[in-house]
Amino acid sequence: MGPLLVMKNIVKRFPGILALNKVNFDLFEGEVHALLGENGAGKTTLMNILYGLYRMDEGEIFYRGEKVKIHSPSQALALGIGMVQQHFTLIPSFTVAENVMLSTRRFERNINDVIDRIRKISEEYELRIDPNARIWQMSVGERQRVEILKLLYTNAKVVILDEPTAVLTPQETKALFRAIRLMIKNGAGVVFIS
């Protein structure tokens, strides 16, 4: 089977800077692909293009063999591409369930159905997240797991993790790696930026 995702000859310019010069990247189902490099090397820029936060100046993106144009994170999520950024996008006064509902832009009528699904995903991926907990009461590691939970809730098949261990304790890092192993076992492709 071919790659889940192909980025071909990607070019990105910022004023006075050539950030990416004909970069190629591919990702297969069930694979963890590490993007390693110095700060400013373009790792996050490349993934921000894939996630729809930046637009490429040149190049092509193929997802599941089809050429796609991604102009926003909502488009990326609709395709099955999600990203956990270094700076979380959670609303502190909301519960986990409310944050998940908001991020999916699908407002289910019954909050209990959402809570049940969050519990199921949390248990399956060993995330240990209470759907009724308020974000402001959670540790950094728990907040990161909520961000991952949001992607799993949308059935993302490409999961981008930007510097995911930077602020985690050793125990939280082990929990993250357990979740990543389960994601790839279930067919996701994971991009690990470090």
pLDDT in tens, 57-116: 999 999 999 999 999 998 999 999 999 988 888 999 999 999 998 877 665 667 888 999
Per-residue pLDDT at 165 exceeds 90: no
Which parts of 16-167 are beta strand (E)? 17-27, 32-35, 58-63, 66-68, 81-84, 158-162
Number of domains in the chain: 1
Among 104, 52, 49, 100, CA closest to 75? 52
**For residue 49, how many C-alpha atoms fall within 13 Å in the half-sphere facing its CB?**
28
Class of residue 87 by CB neighbours under 10 A (exposed 0-12, middle 13-18, buried 19+): exposed
- 147 — phi, psi (to 5°)? -60, -40
Q: Which amino acid is at 42?
A: G
Q: Which position has the token pair 């240990």?
A: 128
**Residue from 154, 183, 8, 166 nearest 87 by CA:** 166
pLDDT score for 106: 61
pTM: 0.91
Residue 61 belongs to what domain range? 5-193
Identify the pLDDT of residue 89: 87
Q: Find the CATH number of the domain harbouring 56.
A: 3.40.50.300
pLDDT at residue 1 in the model: 73
Q: pLDDT at position 76, please?
A: 95
Cβ proximity of 85 and 162 under 8 Å: yes
96-104 and 140-153 helices cross at what angle (nearest 10)?
40
- 15-38: pLDDT as tens digits: 999 999 999 999 999 999 999 988
pLDDT tens column, 172-194: 888 889 999 999 999 999 999 99
Cβ–Cβ < 8 Å for 114, 163: no
Cα(81)–Cα(91) distance, integer angstroms: 21
Range scoring the smallest mean pLDDT among 47-56, 106-115, 128-137? 106-115
Q: Does the pLDDT at position 171 exceed 90?
A: no
Q: State the average pLDDT over residues 121-130.
A: 91
